[in-house]
Structure 1
Amino acid sequence: MGESANASFDPQDFLAKVGRGKTISTYRKDQIVFAQGEVADTIFYIQRGRVKVVVLSDQGKEAVVGILEPGQFFGEGCLNGHSLRISTTTAMEECVITSIMKTAMLTALHSEPKFSELFMAYLLTRNSRIEEDLIDQLFNSSEKRLARLLLLLAHFGKEGSPKPIDIDVSQETLAEMIGTTRSRVSFFMNKFRKLGLISYNGKIEVHNSMLNAVLHDKPEIKRDEETNSA
């Protein structure tokens, strides 16, 4: 029996259950969900865990372009004419992911307004995040970009207290994501710790003082950036 439009349709229930054109899989840490260059005919939705998005250049250089969290879709480029994957996605921890065939996704989008609204909200939020990241790259110092990235990974701005960053994010990955070197990230991280903005206890813990430093652009951050970029 198909999943047709009805008043009781629940988008989250739709994404959480196996159905026509849908499967749910568990991925172990470091397992590839899809690889760059593979045929693109499926959209994915993260129920649990986080996924890293990496792009490989023609010269063989890798660049981390994003970290995806529960509640996010990925691989939706196939809906817009991309026949091949343009990136590689890898589980950063154990993940539960719903995969939806392109035909099933299009059917749901066309027949279920509630699902269409949820997917559109995701696209709008993602585009806003891309614009914010672009502005950061153009106008903010690498130190401030790192601070903002740590705040995002710690879920600042969401309901509840900030969470320790419990995924294995190396300094190399952080450097790639903010467009600087690993040595610069190491320098900034040590500085953040000395200033009491973060702490290490097996996991990176980001304190409220980090948010204040970013919002108010504390002078010591600015002075340090000017000194080290000279």
Structure 2
Amino acid sequence: MKELEIFNILTDTEKNAIYGLARGGLLKKGELLFNQGEEGDKVFLIQTGKIMLQKFTKDGTKIVIDILKPGDLICENIIFEEINYPFSGIALENSYICACSKKEMVELIKDPVILEKIFFSMSSKMMEYTERMTNNALKDVQDKVYNTLKQIAGRHGRITNLGLEIDCYLSHEDIGFLVNASRVSVTRSINQLIEMGKLEKNNRHYIVH
């Protein structure tokens, strides 16, 4: 955990202190990291892999909130609030996750550098979620799909000879949850975007132009 970007300004001594607090473990693809409604008592950091945050509403509707990558914090807001986890975290691929208890994180944020980075993480996510909500207010599903894939490519993309490729697999159902649209509408929109040259597929990964 001490090698993650959020701690890169700290000294080796400070990093080693953090390392002593971390509890790492491998999460296999499809496994839950934590479940919606459970007591929020840990903050998680992704070392490898990707975690999808999903929430079920009272009527059973599934909402995909975010897809997080290595270096991202998960549930850092519980440091400042007494809450249960408001969503679930599930591994999109085999992932190595580090965890710190809330009590331990409270001690860590006494360091102003770490506190600043945690606030920056929370602020960045809030901006991204606001942008996604604005995007989902659009009526045209094709626009919503393209804007969402473009945003994901910006965070989870790699530059290839073909363009900016999203380096994790997203099913049409996953995209539908992200843009609040049916799988049929998403499939139709993706096919149209491919015909227009705005999207391309390389095996099971999307390339955004």
- In structure 1, the residue matched to 2:42 is 42
Alignment CA distance shift 1:30-1:92 (3 Å):
same
- In structure 1, the residue matched to 2:122 is 123
- In structure 1, the residue matched to 2:5 is none
- In structure 2, the residue matched to 1:172 is 173
**Cα shift readout 1:147-189 (whole Å, capped 9, x = no counterpart):** 1111122237989555433423111111111111111111111
Decide whether the 8 Å contact of 2:77 with 2:122 is kept in 1: no
Decide whether the 8 Å contact of 2:168 with 2:205 is kept in 1: no
After superposition, residues 1-230 of structure 1 pair within 5 angstroms as 9-10=10-11, 14=15, 18-20=19-21, 22-110=22-110, 112-139=111-138, 141-155=140-154, 163-208=164-209
Q: Alignment RMSD, CA only? A: 2.7
Distance of 1:53 and 1:182 partners within structure 2: 19
Distance of 2:89 and 2:52 partners within structure 1: 6
Alignment CA distance shift 1:126-1:140 (3 Å):
farther
Distance of 1:62 and 1:157 partners within structure 2: 22
Equivalent AA in structure 1 for residue 74 of structure 2? F
Distance of 1:25 and 1:183 partners within structure 2: 37
Decide whether the 8 Å contact of 2:157 with 2:165 is kept in 1: no
Decide whether the 8 Å contact of 1:174 with 1:185 is kept in 2: yes
TM-score by length of structure 2 reads: 0.83
Structure 2: state its 5+ residue gaps: 1-8
Question: Identity percentage over the alignment?
Answer: 19
Equivalent AA in structure 2 for residue 47 of structure 1? Q
Decide whether the 8 Å contact of 1:166 with 1:203 is kept in 2: no
Decide whether the 8 Å contact of 1:15 with 1:98 is kept in 2: no
Distance of 2:82 and 2:144 partners within structure 1: 31
Decide whether the 8 Å contact of 2:76 with 2:122 is kept in 1: no
Distance of 2:17 and 2:53 partners within structure 1: 23
Q: How many residue pairs were aligned? A: 198
Equivalent AA in structure 2 for residue 117 of structure 1? E
Bigger CA radius of gyration: 1
Decide whether the 8 Å contact of 1:45 with 1:74 is kept in 2: yes
- Which range moved further: 158-167 or 145-154? 158-167
Deviation at 1:75, TM superposition (A): 1.8
Of Structure 1 and Structure 2, the greater strand share is in 2
Distance of 2:48 and 2:62 partners within structure 1: 25
SS at match of 1:154: helix
TM-score by length of structure 1 reads: 0.76
Q: Where does structure 1 differ by over 6 angstroms across 4 or more consecutive aligned residues? A: 156-159
Distance of 1:140 and 1:118 partners within structure 2: 36
SS at match of 1:96: strand
Structure 1: state its 5+ residue gaps: 1-7, 209-230
Equivalent AA in structure 2 for residue 113 of structure 1? P
